[in-house]
Structures are given as structure tokens and as C-alpha cells.
Chain A
């Protein structure tokens, strides 16, 4: 998760050529529009024409009724989905019972020992403290439920992802077929995955696990394929010359050489699975996410925080340990590892048995700290003092109100006022200028699909929130990124903060924004900004730092001031990183703006929540599809021509 590959900013821009190419593209588009406009204009110049929409309500309702009526009798369910569902329930249950049988001493010791073997003493101590903190907060059982679900989901994701990646890594044709699909899956907001699985599996753990697998497997597949393809050809040739068979080559050379990518894939899969396991509480995943969801329902910020902290701790620990495993992959291998693991397992069993004899398996009920009350008092104080009526600067609610009236409303109304074909035109122009005609075509088709689905207006509403949030994110992110790139001290201070923020699941961000900004689109935007900011800051800082020092040096020797260096050398040279930052920002913001439907964000997010809450699949699935299209469009519009490994979130 913490690893981002930022393209080297060596590609020097050739402004004149670029400008003429861009002008050519724009000219062509203008021509195309001029030719097509008489035809398109027939359908009016307002919102998406009604004549071009397809109403899916009836078929979808019929389908959902059919599924509910046949779920306990049709062979497809009895002989396929039923087994899938049973297998999930059984394995989650098995892991859960094992965790409970180990008790809190066993689980803590085991986790610490694993961290110690993989990543050293410091992380081991950190892991132990994190697990104990979960117990102290009174969240031991929900933490174990989430952990059980995670273990199963991650194992399945890794197996599925590695198999797909293996196929992609070995076969050129499969790779070409798989890559666009995987790329697309990674930009989709988590919320869009929930509805289809609920339709088939109903509310509950099986649906949650499967949604998690679908969401978390792509990075494993991508990175496996990447690792296999990236193996040093000379080494491969050497192995081949030794007479190794294809299979031997794969097992002894290619897979070991790809170890770093494989571990990075594992890391990303774990982080995405955790993020999803929490969101999946909306469809009955139980565990920590459910506690956050319940607390959110009664505006109990303190209780939500008590469940949110274990999530964050779990995320940080898992991220650090797997990241350490990845970076230590080359260095280690001197110690006899198997024996160490044996000791670890033996110690765990011993501790668990001891705990069982002392009947101390359950977390002692006296040893919990109730943080809900003091936190709620602090929040009450905050809302009554910061919420409104602060002299001169106004309260946070006033800001939210102003932001809604002066930024969100005009942007939304402006977008909805634009003739439908001109929206498509703008999308095409933006996507083509930055990417290729292929990306432009995908973007336009995605946008048109939204219109055809009949959710043009809510989608533009969502889009306006995304645009506003992205603008704020970029201003703050670029400013912070520049500061971090220019001063080592700022970067040192920022790094741990960014790390923590980047590992937090999206759900956690909703809690504080409601307390500060009330209900509406403004809090949704605020949560999105906070969520997307770390990635933007990090990519910007990295991009600026990678600017060729020679270019900077020569600028300095020509007497350029610090400001001139920044504007005329560093920023232009880091253009690709900045574009990547924009792309990341847009994708991350969309994911949270959708979840913002839970705090009054309205539009597509609300439709998705509504669909889940009312079992109204016609509304929910259409909203889900529109979210997918919007994500696709936004990604393509901001996509620099080449793709890079992205933050998995």
C-alpha cells in the first residue's frame, strides 16, 4: 500500500509539437460535432433525452423476484451457489472457532511471533500492543469476527489472483484480455460491488466474503503477472541453457524472481480486503464494520470511534508486516526459517493451553476502557463551540452551508444545464488530449451509458461533488506536496501521518465529518478530500523529488530564484507525476463521495444505499452500473497514457 511507482519525469515536453497535435485533435472533434449536431440536436439541448433511455426497472424487478422465489429450489442455486455459500460459511466459522479457541492470549502471542519472524522485534511489539488495544476497547469478539472473515477472503483472493496472474504472466494473449478488465476493476468504488452479490446470496457473510474477494483479487493478479513478465531475461536464459524444462523454469526462476511483486500483491490485497470487509457491514458482514455502522446510525461518534480504532490498528499492523516481508525478501534467508515457525506455533499452542487452563480465553470484562463517553463529550463540546457562531470565521456548519451554496450548487446546476451532447464532447476532448483515441472512446461510451440507464441527473450531481472535492484535494495536496518535496523536515513530519491516513478504511472517515459538518453534500465532500489527500501529497512530493538534479542545478546556476525553479523547472518536469496524482485523486474521491450517500450526499450514493436498504434492485443496480460508468469515465479522462501501479483502495 505504501509503495507507489511514480514514472520518471524524464520525458521532456516538446511544447510546440504537443500544441499542434492537441489543436489537431480539438479541430477534428469540432468538425465531428458540427457534422453530428443537426442529428443530435433533434433530441433537444437539455438533459439526456428521454427517447434515448432504456427503462430497466421491470426486467430487474422480475429478475430479483425470480431469484428470491427460486433460491431454495432451482438447481443453479442448489448445486452451485449453495455450495459456494456453504463453503464460505464453514470456512469462516472454522477460522472463527480457531481464533476463539486460541483465546486472546493465544492470538496476541501468535500475531506477535509472526510479526517478529517476518519483520523484527519492533513490529512484533507493535502488533502485540495493537491486539491488546482491541481488547482494551472492548472490541475483542468483533475484531475476531472481522479477522475470520478477512483470513478467508484474503486466502481466496490470493489464490484466485495468483492463478489469474499466472495465466496472464505466461500467456501473452490472456494478458492482453485480462489487463483492461483488471485495470478497470481497480478503479471501481467498493460500493458498486455490493449489490450484485446481495442479489444472489442475500444479506450475510457469504455475500460479504464474495464481494471482498472480487474487490481484493485484482491487485494480486496484476502484480503477479507484472512480476512474472518482469523477470530478468538473462537469468531466464541462463536457466534455460542449463536444460531446465518449462515447469522447472517457472518454479525455480520466474516465481522466486517475482517474489517482491508477489508480496506487494499480497500487501495490497490485504489492505483492500480490510477496507471492503468494513464496508460490507452494510450487507451483513458483522464484526467491527457492523459496530461502526450501528454507531453511525445513532450518531454515537464515541462508539463508532471505539470500533474504528481497532480497524485502523489492524490495517497499520497488517500493512507494516506484509510490507516488511516484501522489502526483507531479498535480505533474509540465512536463518533456518522452518524451525523458527515451528517454535512460533508451539509457543502459541502453549499459551492457548495455559489460558484455557486458567479459563482466561475471553477478554476479562473488567479490563476494558469505555472511550465512548469522553469522546462524545468532546464531540458535543466541539459541535456546540465550532459548529456555528464562531466569531469572524464562522462555524464549520456555516462553512458547509457556504460551500454548498457557492460551490456545489453552481457546479451541479451548471453541469445539469449543459446540453447533453456537450457533456459528451467535453469528456471526449479531455480524454483525447491526455490519452489516446481509445481512452476517449471508452470515456464517451461510459458517459453515454449513464444517460441510457436514465440516471443522467443524479450522475451529474455526483459528478459535481467529485469535481468540487477533487479541486479542493488538488489545491491542498499540491501545496503540501510541494512543501514536502522542498523541505526534508516537513516530509519527516508528514510521512507517518500520511501512512496512517492512507491505510484507514473509507468507512472511518464518515464519523468525524458528520459531527463537524452536519448532513448533506458538504460532509461527503469533506470525507472524500481527507481520504484522497495522502495519495495526492505523496505522488506530488515523489514526482518533484525525482526531477533530474542536473536540470535544477543548471537553473540555479542561471540565477533562478526558488520560486522560479519550482514553477519553471520542477513542476513542468514532474508533469507526469502530477497527472498521475490527479488520476488517483479522482478515483479515490469518487469512492468516498458514493459512500457519502450514508451521510446525506444524495445522488448515486443515495440510490445505491436505497437499493440495499429497500431490497429495490432496480434502483440499486442501475445506480451501481452508473457508478461503474462514472468511475470508468473519470479514470479515462484523467489517465496519463501509461498506466502504473496504483494505491489499492
Chain B
């Protein structure tokens, strides 16, 4: 890490002499490594699962390995860019971005794969389970048009509302609604936070709703939901996003590290490569953060104290 500071100072000297190149793709955050501490910068994505990964990694890096950890909130796609430039060192939960992977990992080699996170992600359309009890056939997409009037809201006009979340998430919903000829309007909540607030309010009043959602997600414990079956996913059926008619795949979530960080990051890089846990572990931390409103640090400490057998392996 000190190398980067030297690089930065060096480029200033070059600037003064008026020659040489300044490569801004090799630049750390100005807030990193303050006062000589070894710093790792982790990118956080907006969903709580990603916060849990980062919270536990941060806790262990700080308390077991003696690093200083900075976190930066970046959405997934910009996080790839930031990772490539070394402004963040790690992306701990990626839901599959083949374009970016080809560009940065295969072509430019500025990002290195760091293995599975151990959690499998799945995106889908969900309805609350209390609604399924009333209308058991609602869980098939072919019957959705029949129930469109149930899902009408002020924002969706005359159609049923399919609620989507943050603009940063992977979604084909607009194309799906169009290609499957559904009488629905995709309404974007603008952020996951807004979407969760809305779902909780609906659930409290036992109102029907149809939403884009994903697992693992802690909210299933609070609001039980059932997935609506879309036409099944087959390899390559999502090749053309405009013509898509199939559901979302099951994605083993991946970790990625900055290529220079892998070389110079020492123990921290090795630790982040070894970091691997299960859906249940992640959910446990997520529930503490999102539902019991523990701060991420406290939640991470609780989990670390009670699961030494899991994380001990990561440190070796």
C-alpha cells in the first residue's frame, strides 16, 4: 500500500518537472493509509447482505489482523470500475456481470477472481405467502393477468404493479412484462430501502403485492413470500435482454480483488480470498443489522464471537 503513496508523490514530482505520464487508474483514495496504518478499502453495496459480508470482513481485519478498514458505498457496476482503478481493494459479492468480467479480468487484467463467497443468489418475482393461501394458483405467471386488478396502486395507473427496487440491480423485468404480455407496470422504488419500507407497510395491512426480490434476503424471515414461477431458465436464454422470456438463473456469488492488491495486500488479500461462508451465516448477520437495528460492527462482533470455527479457517 505504501507503494501507491510513493507512486502518487512520484507523479507529483514528475508534474513539477513537466514530463512523464500520470496514470490516474493507479490511484488510491486520499483518505486511505492515514498516519501510516495499513488500510484496506472495501466496497459496500446497498443491500444488507453485502453489508454483512463487509461488516464481518472489516471486524476481522481490524481486530485480528490489525488493519484499518475504509468502506465506500458504490453500486455494483461502478464498483468494478473503482476496483480496476484501485480506489477500492475488494468487491465481496457480485451477482454476475459477464461484460465487466471480460473487460477487466480477461482483457485488462486489473481485477482478479477471488473465488466463491459460498452463497448462492437467486432473483425472482415474489408474492406474500398470505396471498397464496387465498389464491393458490397465483404462483404461476400464466395466471398473473387474472389477478392484475389486485395489484393496482396509484403509481401503476390502470395496470397491476410489479415493484422493482434499486436501479443498480440486475433486472429484466420491463422486457419480461412486455414479452410475456402481462398487464403490469414496473414501478421502480428507487432504492432497496424504499422497496423494503413499502413491502413492510403492505404486509402489515395484509395487502397483496407483487415484487422483484432475491434470496438470500433477511426480509423473508419477517414477511414470508413465495416465488411466482416464470418460464424456466435455460443456459443462454437471457442472451438478448430485449427478447427475454425466461426467469433468472441461480448465481453462485463471486468475490473479486484488485490485481495489485492481491500482490501487495499480504495477509489482508489472503484473508479476503479465504472468506467463505453460508447463506445461513450471512442471514444471521443481516437480520441483526436490518431488523434488530444493531450497528454493523456490533452485529459482526456478535457473529464472530459465536462462530470461531468458521472464521478461524480464513485467517490461516
Tell me, in angstroms, the Cα distance from A297 to B24 when the chains sit together. Answer: 29
Tell me, in angstroms, the Cα distance from A400 to B296 when the chains sit together. Answer: 32
B72 contact set on A, CB distance < 8 A: 284, 286, 290
A499 within 8 A of B: no
Q: Contact string, B59-98, partner A, CB cutoff 8 A, digits 1/0?
A: 0000000000010111101101110010100000000000
Tell me whether B82 and A601 are in contact (CB under 8 A): no
Tell me, in angstroms, the Cα distance from A198 to B77 when the chains sit together. Answer: 13
A5 to chain B, nearest CB (A): 37
Tell me whether B24 and A600 are in contact (CB under 8 A): no
Tell me whether B190 and A203 are in contact (CB under 8 A): no
Tell me, in angstroms, the Cα distance from A280 to B191 when the chains sit together. Answer: 17
Tell me whether A518 and B201 are in contact (CB under 8 A): yes
A71 contact set on B, CB distance < 8 A: 24-25
Tell me, in angstroms, the Cα distance from A86 to B4 when the chains sit together. Answer: 12
A198 contact set on B, CB distance < 8 A: 78
Stretch at the interface among B135-143, B192-200, B247-255: B192-200
With A202-B81, A298-B51 in contact, do A90 and B188 touch (Cβ < 8 Å)?
no
B15 to chain A, nearest CB (A): 5
A514 within 8 A of B: yes
Tell me whether B27 and A298 are in contact (CB under 8 A): no
B85 contact set on A, CB distance < 8 A: 202, 204
Tell me, in angstroms, the Cα distance from A646 to B205 when the chains sit together. Answer: 47
Identity of the chain A residue whose Cβ is nearest the Cβ of B7 in the assembled complex: A86
B8 contact set on A, CB distance < 8 A: 86, 89-90, 93
Tell me, in angstroms, the Cα distance from A83 to B13 when the chains sit together. Answer: 11
Tell me whether A92 and B30 are in contact (CB under 8 A): yes
Tell me whether A206 and B24 are in contact (CB under 8 A): yes
B155 contact set on A, CB distance < 8 A: 404, 520-521
Q: Contact string, A63-103, partner B, CB cutoff 8 A, digits 1/0?
A: 00000110110010111011101111110110011001000
Q: Tell which of B30, B108, B293 touches A373, judged by Cβ atoms closer than 8 Å.
A: B293
B308 within 8 A of A: no
A602 within 8 A of B: yes
B23 within 8 A of A: yes
B201 contact set on A, CB distance < 8 A: 387-388, 397, 518
With A68-B81, A514-B194 in contact, do A202 and B87 touch (Cβ < 8 Å)?
yes
Tell me whether B193 and A602 are in contact (CB under 8 A): no
Tell me whether A81 and B188 are in contact (CB under 8 A): no
Tell me whether A100 and B154 are in contact (CB under 8 A): no
A372 contact set on B, CB distance < 8 A: 293, 295
Tell me whether A78 and B289 are in contact (CB under 8 A): no
With A86-B11, A405-B154 in contact, do A203 and B24 touch (Cβ < 8 Å)?
no
Tell me, in angstroms, the Cα distance from A612 to B195 when the chains sit together. Answer: 19
Q: Contact string, A598-614, partner B, CB cutoff 8 A, digits 1/0?
A: 11111000100110111
Tell me whether B73 and A281 are in contact (CB under 8 A): yes
Tell me whether B78 and A602 are in contact (CB under 8 A): no
Q: Tell which of A201, A281, A286, A299 touches B197, judged by Cβ atoms closer than 8 Å.
A: A299
A640 within 8 A of B: no
B295 contact set on A, CB distance < 8 A: 372
Tell me whether B81 and A615 are in contact (CB under 8 A): yes
B128 to chain A, nearest CB (A): 17
A491 to chain B, nearest CB (A): 38
B80 contact set on A, CB distance < 8 A: 615
A423 within 8 A of B: no
Q: Tell which of A97, A519, A602 touches B195, judged by Cβ atoms closer than 8 Å.
A: A519
Q: Tell which of A83, A297, A598 touches B15, judged by Cβ atoms closer than 8 Å.
A: A83
B27 contact set on A, CB distance < 8 A: 85-86, 89, 204, 206
Q: Contact string, B277-316, partner A, CB cutoff 8 A, digits 1/0?
A: 0000000000001100101000000000000000000000
B46 within 8 A of A: yes
Chain A: residues with Cβ within 8 Å of the partner, total of 72
Tell me whether B82 and A203 are in contact (CB under 8 A): yes
Tell me whether B30 and A205 are in contact (CB under 8 A): yes
B191 to chain A, nearest CB (A): 6
A63 to chain B, nearest CB (A): 15
Tell me whether B23 and A72 are in contact (CB under 8 A): yes
Q: Tell which of B21, B70, B75 touches A78, judged by Cβ atoms closer than 8 Å.
A: B21
Interface centre among A92, A97, A148, A202 (most CB of B within 10 A): A202
Tell me, in angstroms, the Cα distance from A87 to B78 when the chains sit together. Answer: 23
B241 contact set on A, CB distance < 8 A: none
A442 contact set on B, CB distance < 8 A: none
Tell me whether A290 and B31 are in contact (CB under 8 A): no
A300 within 8 A of B: yes
B30 contact set on A, CB distance < 8 A: 88-90, 92-93, 96, 148, 205
B276 to chain A, nearest CB (A): 24
Tell me whether A297 and B46 are in contact (CB under 8 A): yes
Give chain A interface residues in 183-215, CB to chain B under 8 Å: 198, 201-206
Tell me, in angstroms, the Cα distance from A204 to B43 when the chains sit together. Answer: 12
Tell me whether B167 and A614 are in contact (CB under 8 A): yes
B22 within 8 A of A: yes
A104 within 8 A of B: no
Identity of the chain A residue whose Cβ is nearest the Cβ of B104 in the assembled complex: A68
B44 within 8 A of A: yes
With A286-B29, A401-B154, A514-B193 in contact, do A78 and B23 touch (Cβ < 8 Å)?
yes
With A90-B12, A96-B30, A401-B154 in contact, do A613 and B22 touch (Cβ < 8 Å)?
no
With A85-B27, A520-B155 in contact, do A614 and B77 touch (Cβ < 8 Å)?
yes
A565 within 8 A of B: no
Tell me whether A600 and B15 are in contact (CB under 8 A): no
Tell me, in angstroms, the Cα distance from A404 to B152 when the chains sit together. Answer: 13
B73 contact set on A, CB distance < 8 A: 281, 290, 293-294, 297
A296 within 8 A of B: yes
Tell me, in angstroms, the Cα distance from A83 to B289 when the chains sit together. Answer: 41
Tell me whether B190 and A297 are in contact (CB under 8 A): no
B237 within 8 A of A: no
B192 to chain A, nearest CB (A): 7
A641 contact set on B, CB distance < 8 A: none
Besides A96-B34, A204-B82, 14 new A-B residue pairs in contact (Cβ under 8 A), listed by A number:
A78-B22, A83-B22, A85-B24, A89-B28, A96-B31, A205-B29, A281-B73, A284-B87, A298-B193, A519-B189, A598-B190, A609-B167, A612-B75, A615-B81
30 of the cross-chain contacts (CB-CB < 8 Å) are A68-B103, A69-B103, A72-B108, A75-B21, A78-B21, A82-B23, A83-B15, A85-B22, A96-B30, A100-B34, A201-B24, A203-B78, A206-B24, A284-B72, A284-B78, A284-B82, A297-B73, A298-B192, A372-B293, A404-B154, A519-B194, A519-B198, A599-B194, A602-B188, A606-B188, A609-B190, A613-B77, A614-B75, A614-B167, A615-B77
* A residues at B contact (CB < 8 Å): 68-69, 71-72, 75, 77-79, 81-83, 85-90, 92-93, 96-97, 100, 145, 148, 198, 201-206, 281, 283-284, 286, 290, 293-294, 296-300, 372-373, 376, 387-388, 397, 401, 404-405, 409, 514, 518-521, 597-602, 606, 609-610, 612-616
The 5 A-B residue pairs with the shortest CB-CB distance, nearest first, are: A82-B22, A613-B168, A78-B21, A93-B30, A610-B167
